Chains A and B, each alone.
Chain A
Amino acid sequence: MDSSTHLLRIGQRGARFQLMMALRDLRGSFQRIGLAWSLAWHDIGSRYRGSILGPFWITLSMGLMVLGIGFLYAGLFHIPIETYLPYVALGIVFFGVLTGTINEGCETFVQASGMLSQTSLPMFTFVWRVMFRNLINLAHHMVIVVAVLVIFGFWRKANVPAAAIGIVLMLVNAAWLSMLAGIASARFRDIPQIVQSIMQFAIFMTPVFWLPDLRLGAHRAVLEANPFYHLLTAVRSPLLGQTVPEHTYGVLALMALLGWLFTFSLFARTRRRIVHYL
């Protein structure tokens, strides 16, 4: 029967039942994926309502930041600008996807409290809403990526299919991190602050602005232990014509698997409570 015209709710417990309901929620969100998309566009629309450039404001501001940092730091670090600027541009753009999805993830359910408390909309819809919103932003930023790759000639050696795999791995991981942040933030109001601090710390610990020197032992251990390093490398390196270390794919696949297992079981456990947290 059409799910939109029949609502059945059973007061039942048990891990199996809860898992089944969580899967049903996920399925429901895919059936109405267009809603998440509309909500995401609506968000973008409201954010830039009345501004002339619209979402291209973020592109512009990010472009200026890339230029400024690119020129200044290239001089400071004594790295040729044609190597450094593309490197930092891609770093800022793709790390921005991670910060965006995870930081905004905190608001996933809190922002949707009005809808969640009087409809039977799938919870996952709001997770996809955050993801789509950030994808739309990324699409605007791709202008910078393409411009930089063309201007500095990297487009000839860029490995686009590998970068696409990298982006998929990044998004799959960002999605569970975002959802986890959403569930945790709904329950505990301290989480958004903590998440923000972590992401701020991460941008400096991850080679976004600086080039890693893999000769150093301790330094390398810190890098390898940083999941954001792997996430960023899988996207950035192929675009710059460099190879991605094989173990990076292993790390990312494992991270996606374990992360989703954990987040999904947490969701199955808390799903019916989230609306009461808000």
Chain B
Amino acid sequence: MNPVTASITCTNLTLRFPVYGVDAKSLKKALARVTVGGVLGRHAGVTDVTALSGVNLELKAGDRLGLIGHNGSGKTTLLRALSGAYEPDEGTIDVHGRIAPLLDLSLGIDASATGYENIRLRGRIAGLSSREIEAKMDEIADFTGLGPFLAMPVKTYSAGMKGRLAFAAATAVETDVLLMDEWIAVGDSEFQQVAHKRLLSLVERAGILVLATHEVSLLKLYCNKVMRLDGGVASEVVDIRRLDELLAR
């Protein structure tokens, strides 16, 4: 595969989405709404949330961006938008490079399947052929450090073990853009160290890392830039050295 110069560009990215409450998911209520001519609770259960408004972001190869902000400030939404899952209502998202989303552990993880099967499944989702996966299998298996457990169903794993599996499988793929939410903190200190090395090598390969977290220590460890989100509004991207300044706002 040709090497790609990774880049992320978001221009005036605005994302609104309807949140469907229990009421809105009921067909009866929706029908009642239609038949009563929309008088009966026009907004019953559907709330429009502006998750991101006018976010501008420009990242180039080698950037490691930390996203900070309170719960519900739009960090995860931004990551999901960058992964291509959410489409913008306004503005554009332009991402060059192969994207590896590490947003939640459940992606392609089938709890009743074994670790090996899950690695295969995840590899297929990431776009590898079966042959490519088999070629990498030993390396991935080795990296998880799970040894014989890989032949067991994932439902018997602890959260840390699941984290190892998902992280190993996701980063085994040649990635240019790694999107991570919080949970990198899973796994024991030994795993943290290997994971750390792998993340650094990714960045050395001129990749981009976007990491959402509340942990200042993680930010300082992995990121060279930070951006703060507040109610979907983004601050400018600043150097990690100005983190305290950004936190204090």
Contacts and interface: CB of A to CB of B under 8 A. Distances in A.
A157 interface: no
Contact of A8 (B89, B93, B106, B120): B93
B93 A9 contact: yes
B15 to A, nearest CB: 8
Interface string A1-31: 0001111111100000000000000000000
B25 interface: yes
Given A8-B92, A120-B84, A188-B27, A42 B20 contact: no
A275 B130 CA distance: 28
Interface residues of A, number: 36
Contacts of A115: 107-108, 125
Given A7-B96, A190-B28, A273-B17, 8 more contacts: A5-B98, A7-B93, A9-B88, A9-B94, A11-B14, A46-B112, A49-B112, A189-B25
Contacts of A42: 110, 113, 117, 121
Contacts of B230: none
Contacts of B83: 118-120
A276 interface: yes
A33 to B, nearest CB: 12
B142 interface: no
Which 3 pairs between the two chains have the least Cβ-Cβ distance? A120-B84, A11-B88, A190-B27
B107 A9 contact: no
Given A11-B91, A42-B121, A118 B85 contact: yes
Nearest to A42: B121
B80 A46 contact: no
Interface in A185-227: 187-191, 194
B121 A9 contact: no
A119 B98 contact: no
B38 interface: no
From A9, A188, A194, residue with most partner B Cβ within 10 Å = A9
A38 B96 CA distance: 27
B20 A277 contact: yes
B85 A116 contact: yes
Interface in B42-97: 79-81, 83-97
Size category of the binding interface on chain B: 35 or more
B107 A45 contact: no
Contacts of B81: 9
B5 to A, nearest CB: 10
Interface of B: 1, 4, 13-14, 17-20, 25-28, 30, 79-81, 83-99, 101, 103-104, 106-110, 112-113, 117, 120-121, 124-125, 127, 129-130, 176, 179
Contacts of B125: 35, 115, 119, 121
A118 to B, nearest CB: 4
Given A9-B81, A188-B30, A276-B17, A119 B87 contact: no
A272 B176 contact: no
B86 A275 contact: yes
Nearest to B126: A119
B27 A191 contact: yes
A60 interface: no
A45 B94 CA distance: 37
A117 interface: yes
A172 interface: no
Contacts of A187: 20, 25
Contacts of A273: 17-18
A8 B95 CA distance: 6
Contacts of B27: 188-191, 194
A6 B95 contact: yes
A189 B92 CA distance: 32
B122 to A, nearest CB: 10
A38 B109 CA distance: 14
B176 A120 contact: no
A265 B1 CA distance: 36
A250 interface: no
Nearest to B19: A276
A96 B117 CA distance: 29
A32 interface: yes
Contact of A11 (B25, B84, B87, B120): B87
A54 interface: no
Given A34-B129, A38-B130, A190-B28, A11 B98 contact: no
A114 interface: yes
Interface in A163-194: 187-191, 194
Given A39-B124, A114-B107, A7 B85 contact: no
A46 B87 contact: no
Nearest to A190: B27
Contacts of B85: 116-120, 275
A10 B92 contact: yes
A194 to B, nearest CB: 8
A188 B97 CA distance: 36
